[in-house]
Amino acid sequence: MSARARAARARCAEDDLGAVVAVVEDRDGGPGPLADTPVGVKDLFAVAGHPRYCGLPPDRAGRLVDTEPQPEDAEAVARLARAGAPIVARVASHALAFGVIGHGVTNLAAPGRITGGSSSGSAAALAAGLVDIALGTDTGGSVRIPAACCGVVGVKTTRGLVPLTGVQDLAWSLDTVGPLARDVPTAAAALAVLAGRDGNRVAGHLWDGSSGDPASEPTLPAPPAEPPAADPESLVVGVPTATRRERLDPEVREIWEARLAAFGAAGASLVPVDLPALEEAHAANGRVLCAEAAAVHANGDWSAAPEDVRPRLELGHDLAATSVARAHRVGQRLRAELRAAAERVDVLCTPTLPCRVPEVGQATVEIDGVAEDTTPTLTRLTNPWNLAGAPAASVPAGTDADGVPVGLQLIAPPGGEQSLLRGMVAAAALSLDHR
């Protein structure tokens, strides 16, 4: 066992933040690009020989998910292990990955504030220095939201780029796997490993006019093994006009505008982008997510789900099929608009969250004098890109007046991870001197 893996396991064993579900022994890694890079795995992924509770108490989890020791690793876990990474811990999730708060997990980057979710343990473990890479899932923002809350980097991949084999479903047309890390180069290295080199096929529903023949579907380009050099002069950054019209916390807007100005000062071009479907995408994603989650758990005992999850399962069960079908149509339109925008811009840029990171237990947030429920507010800028199947990332953008992290979101069209990485590297190279 390497000294780094041993030290990471010791830190995880002493965790009192609620981030670690269980320490994983005897997975010490080996040679490879991720050698000596300790990994925490969200407790939705199969880890050979371990149960998975998917964010539920062990005494209730079996009423909704398979809690038996898993016979083999999820493919994403196996890819990291084959690249030499020691797997040191299973980390916490919001129940069933169906929430963005992260109950019971402490955010060391912002004490008293939520970690975000559902990949709460992944981001919290990174912020606490327990691991160097963490695996998460993202169905409506569940990698990017905790990354923004905890001041780390989180990448939501194109739907289909990273296999979901061995990952508990939440909503099959929206679910994605993605890495979290403390910096862009480490996130990029993990992304390259997760994407693999074996011609992953994009999920067919992302390609309008699909032939129906899986063998004829296009493959997704693999991200580069090394992140590109920072080259903001060649970057064209799209600014969604719909986001300009969004209700944003004044400090969040100020920091976003400062980051856009910094892109421009570094030589990047800033271009306004009109995406009409974006106006409808937040609500549409919510309908698809609730309906598919209800279908995934149709045979489970919903009384075992916590109070903040059960009502959304019930809502999904009661949604009309026509409503869900119209929501998928919004996703098709947004994908088409993104592809058209990609002819003019490399990435889009928005805040990750429209509000500052809420305090623990805060049921509503106030933006421009309007009180909003916390959960839908947190997903307002992130979940449209799940509906579109597009890759997106959150990178640190600075802090608010209280020293709490604020995240910057970058988005590319489906299959555009290389452009996304260019934007992430350029963003990371900008001076974060705001407060």
| 234 among known catalytic residues | no
- Residue 119 and residue 154: Cα distance in Å, rounded? 10
The verdict on whether 216 is a catalytic residue reads: no
Per-residue burial over 235-246, b = 16 or more CB atoms within 10 Å of its CB, e = otherwise: bbbbbbebbeeb
Strand 405-411 versus strand 347-351 pairing type: antiparallel
Pairing relationship of beta strands 153-156 and 370-373 according to DSSP bridges:
unpaired
Return the structure tokens found at 174.
Answer: 């929206």
Q: Say which amino acid occupies 37.
A: T
Out of 42, 122, 394, 419, the active site residue is 42
Active-site residue (options: 142, 173, 394, 419): 142
Is 394 known to be catalytic? no
Backbone angles phi, psi at 133, to 5 degrees: -135, 145
Contact 113, 327 (CB under 8 A): no
State the Rg of the chain over Cα.
20
Is residue 154 within 8 Å of residue 143, measured between CB atoms?
A: yes
Catalytic residue among 93, 118, 173, 419: 118
Distance CA 135, CA 179 (A): 5
CB atoms within 10 A of CB 370: 10
List active site positions.
42, 118, 142
